[in-house]
Chain A
Amino acid sequence: MLAIRGIRNSGGYLSESGFSGLRNFQDICHPGNPLILKILIQTITKNRKPPPFPPQAFPPQALPRSPAFATIGGAARWPPASRLPGLLALTDAATFPPPLAHGPLDGVKVLDLSEDIAGSFCARLLADYGAEVLKLEPPAGAALRRMPPFFGDDPHPEKSLFFLAMNLNKKGATLNLDREAGRALFRELLPYVDVVVESYRPGYLASLGLGYETIETINPGLVLTSITPFGQTGPYSQYSGEEIVSYAMGLIMSISGRQDREPLKHGGFQAQYEGGLNGAAATAMALFMRDSVGEGQHLDVSVTECVASTMMATQTMYPFIGATQPRRRASGSNFGHPMPCEDGWIIVQTGGGASWETIADFFGAPELHEPRFADTAERNRNGEELDRIVLDAISRRGKWELFTEAARARMLFGLAQTPPELAQCPQLESRDFYRIVEHPVIGRIKVPAVLFNLSLTPYQYTGPAPTLGQHNREIYLDGLGYTPQELTVLRQTDAI
């Protein structure tokens, strides 16, 4: 009877949902009893390997290597009959299996301690692709609950649209790491999970006795993903981050904006999202490796380094020719930059499948066929004249008409869409990008949902962002086996 559901849920890819797997432990477990806890850890560890495909020896799915493969596929077999051209002709009937109702990270359990955008986005991506994520918030709620925009501009803790977007598909409980009872609860949860995501100042968890060294002792297979402005190490690791600071120190502001003005920041919170996405990528890789070697590790993601990682041309210019890349000149060709048309802004780039002749025809200005615009160097030299002609040509044309016609001419072309336009975009609808969410306080709302498509184990929508402490009873009563009286005491003492 011991942990039958636990077995199924501790990594089995057929399980439907996970923290309920803790339920059966309450009969046999008195929380805090170290002996029982040890048995449970052993049970969980023993059953971590999922049926029916146990992890393989490392390296995973090792392929035949040369020269071994050369021996198998020797000269005599080349080209083998089955590989002859023609035998693999296209068949329109070629199909692939229908999608399953779970994600590729099915069976993975995650504790999300993050209060910010980056960590929350990381854990959300894990949840979107099948992991079961429990967000653990301080009793006052994660800081993100206080961030605009708010639904109906009402600054209610359940109405932050930013919190909603970053915490879809998660369960939520409260837990106060500043109380010993809260830390004890956290330690109790650790044996059952595969990943902890956190974004506290480096050293904070360690100062509570919950650093990776401790976590590793309790659960050697656990992956701890830390996402911080400057990373866990280095002289600025204790410094405070902000979006603009990550952009400044991540090099990107040095080339953004114009030379006659101050460097310019990207709009929105791109650096935070980048940190979250890299955190999810690193976590997925570490989980893949963990399944083979049995050991987790501590991942250190730096938001500033995420931004800097996009600066390929900018960084390499120095060790290659000793030079620094500038911002854009105040004047010069607008190609590759937004240009105003009748009802908005468009952007054109040369190259791709369209010749200059095609582009000149598209704008319908005969002067563009003149030799002074014939190649990139000439166009740069005569950039202001080029701009004048092009701006005049598009001043009486609409952005959508231009967008469609440019695609027909195989041109690289874009238009500056506004958020309301994005919310109605037929291309995004065709990709099922949005999901309609039923939120208990906000109501029905359309949210950006699907980062990418997967043919077999696609994105799954399982629920809106949790309300504060929504799953406390499920986690602490049903999961860890506390009594309602004990739960009351935990609340009274501000532990949850």
Chain B
Amino acid sequence: MTTPSFSQAQNAFSQAQDGKLPLEGIRVLDSTYVFALPYAGGLLADMGAEVIKVEGPGRPDVTRTGGYSGVFADNDLGEDWWNRPSTYNLIHRGKQSVTLDMTDERGRGLFRELVKISDVVMENFTPRVMRNWGLDYPNLRRLKPDVILVSNTGYGHGGGPYSGYPAQATTQEATHGHCWITGYRPAADGSDGGPAKAGASFVDFLSTWTALFAIGAALRYRNRTGLGQWVDIGMYQAGVMFLSEYVLDAVANGREGGRIGNRHPWRAPQGCYPAAGQDQWITLSVGDDAQWQALCQVMGQPELAHDSRFATLLSRRENHDALDAAIAAWTSGRDRYAAMHALQQAGIPAGPVLTGRDVHFDPHFQSRNFLERAQYPPERKMGERMFIGRPYKFSKSPLRIQGPSPTFGQHNEPALKELLGLPEAQYRQLVEDVVIATTPTTGEPSPVVPQPEALERGIIAAWDADYRQRLGLE
């Protein structure tokens, strides 16, 4: 295998520091909640867009309150807990925050004014809500003829039987077929743990990225033709698209699909095996006879290479259980990183199971600056935090997290008074009537559990008391 030579490419991608950003000069009105489109808004801000997040004074984003908010900075509610949750801060990086009570006509009026000076509007209400407010696409188009409206709903707009159904990623993962093909492989005795959920809110992110693609394409088209349009995303549909080969196997061959755990539909062996240390794991995948021979060498068991039970891909699939035992015997007690390097040097795809902690210290993620630091102003009492950046680099555009998340309603004054020209007297009236606010009028913080107790209750798997020092956070 060739020696890694990435220095040249590294240089090319680090020269982007002073380049232009793709979305400079684009304003996005982000009237969305939870994960999918709000995260798209954060990623648009990374690309240089000015993103104005709109929340109701009595309808703060659910990433601020309750079970979707993750944890609070340093497990401390502070004086403004609603600005301190982890998922809120990751998703809303680099945005501006405006609060508008959309149930009040004055709030909707200001929203319309913001629509008139925005390039892209994003919303994820159920279909009837925007319509009842007169903010559906036909009406927005009258305000701003070339507006690009992005709607994300569970099942998509239109007259379909499920279009009005409530939806959210957790339950959709089952409905769009994902759970059916995810889960531990049924055991030899026939016992089957059944379909399973994997990851967290998986299908939300398919909408996030679909929105980015649609916005990029629609902006290009608008730039050429002067014409805007309506992007209608249904999460369910995006989820099914990601199962295309299963659907085609059903259509063409009548197969139902099912669960094969960590195995591969045609490669063998493949699996997730124990490594040295508490809850440490290494994955590997062997695709052909050459890789199998190489694995036998790496494991120091050349005799296995001549074992007829494992001589061909088919026989390896048939005797996968025996292979798993042999591989696990080798991986157990071995350092997961050392195992990865040895296997990869021999040309075998392999890698350790990394945790949310590991990603901060892995040399590859570090080298690519996958996690980025956001510096908070002193009054936020958040110091510096690290967040997932994005999975793509542009050689000439320095995409980056442009700044920390805003506090609730932080940009009410600049957006409404300076941008829209709202007179001071009216602004003060709106504050008084709580059409705008800088403190949410509803919502409770999710419970704060001290880390030692959380560890005992199994809410967390491990914790480092000195995490700030380890990360060099200010």
Contacts and interface: CB of A to CB of B under 8 A. Distances in A.
Given A149-B248, A349-B170, 18 more contacts: A60-B25, A69-B117, A234-B368, A248-B353, A253-B283, A263-B353, A267-B180, A267-B183, A301-B391, A310-B202, A312-B91, A313-B86, A315-B359, A318-B471, A414-B172, A429-B160, A445-B248, A448-B244
Given A75-B423, A427-B162, A230 B220 contact: no
Interface in B241-265: 241-257, 259-262, 264-265
Interface stretch (A172-180, A285-293, A366-374, A477-485): A285-293
Interface stretch (A24-32, A33-41, A184-192, A453-461): A453-461
Interface stretch (A416-424, A466-474, A488-496): A416-424
Contact of B219 (A53, A60, A274): A60
A17 interface: no
Contact of B355 (A62, A254, A279): A254
B163 A430 contact: yes
A326 B20 CA distance: 40
Interface in A369-403: 376-377, 403
Interface string A103-130: 1111100000000000000000100011
A425 B471 CA distance: 49
Interface in B412-438: 414, 417-423, 426
A254 B353 contact: yes
B174 A244 contact: no
Interface in B391-411: 391-397
> Interface size class for chain B?
35 or more
B229 A456 contact: yes
A307 to B, nearest CB: 8
Given A264-B183, A419-B243, A430-B158, A256 B198 contact: yes
> Interface size class for chain A?
35 or more
Contacts of A338: 174, 179, 194-197
Contacts of A454: 214, 218, 229-232
Contact of B210 (A74, A263, A452): A452
Contact of A75 (B174, B421, B466): B421
B238 to A, nearest CB: 6
Interface in A41-94: 50, 53, 55-56, 58-64, 66-67, 69-70, 72-75, 77-79, 83, 85, 88-90, 94
Given A234-B6, A256-B198, A351-B168, A165 B245 contact: yes
7 contacts: A264-B261, A284-B213, A305-B392, A322-B467, A345-B179, A416-B174, A445-B252
A323 B220 CA distance: 42
A257 B196 contact: yes
B327 interface: no
Interface stretch (B53-61, B131-139, B301-309, B314-322): B131-139
Interface in A317-362: 317-327, 329, 336-338, 340, 345-349, 351-354
8 A-B pairs with the lowest CB-CB distances in the bound complex, closest first: A59-B25, A284-B216, A267-B181, A322-B467, A430-B160, A94-B138, A414-B171, A316-B86
A283 B244 CA distance: 22
A417 B176 contact: yes
B222 interface: yes
Contacts of A104: 217-218, 220-221, 229
Contact of B213 (A63, A281, A348): A281
A239 B272 contact: no
A134 interface: no
Nearest to A229: B349
A321 to B, nearest CB: 5
B251 A253 contact: no
B458 A418 contact: no
B184 A261 contact: yes
Contacts of A377: 447
B386 interface: yes
A237 interface: yes
A345 B193 CA distance: 11
Contact of A277 (B13, B210, B257, B368): B210
Contacts of B181: 267-268, 419
Contacts of A293: 20
B6 A418 contact: no
Interface string A224-244: 000000111111111111111
A451 B238 contact: yes
Contacts of B284: 244-245
A114 B23 CA distance: 28
A462 interface: no
Given A234-B364, A316-B87, A423-B251, A70 B460 contact: no
A88 B352 CA distance: 58
Given A248-B354, A452-B232, A347 B170 contact: yes
A427 B458 contact: no
Given A53-B224, A88-B142, A58 B174 contact: no
Contacts of A90: 131, 134, 139
Contact of B75 (A55, A238, A283, A321): A321
Contacts of B326: none
A310 B229 contact: no
A450 interface: yes
Nearest to B455: A323
Contact of A323 (B134, B204, B451): B451
Residue with the highest number of chain A CB atoms closer than 10 Å, among B71, B173, B353: B353
A181 interface: no
A413 B202 CA distance: 16
Nearest to B282: A248
A162 B466 CA distance: 48
A22 interface: no
Interface string B85-103: 0110111000000000000
A410 interface: yes
B198 A252 contact: yes
Nearest to A301: B392
Contacts of A56: 223
Interface string B161-201: 11111111011111111111111100000000011111111
B335 to A, nearest CB: 15
B35 interface: yes
A60 B26 CA distance: 7
B213 to A, nearest CB: 4
A266 interface: yes
Nearest to B459: A326
A418 B257 contact: yes
A61 B252 contact: no
B332 to A, nearest CB: 12
B277 interface: no
B256 A419 contact: yes
Nearest to B155: A427
Contacts of B244: 162, 165-166, 447-448
A245 B174 contact: no
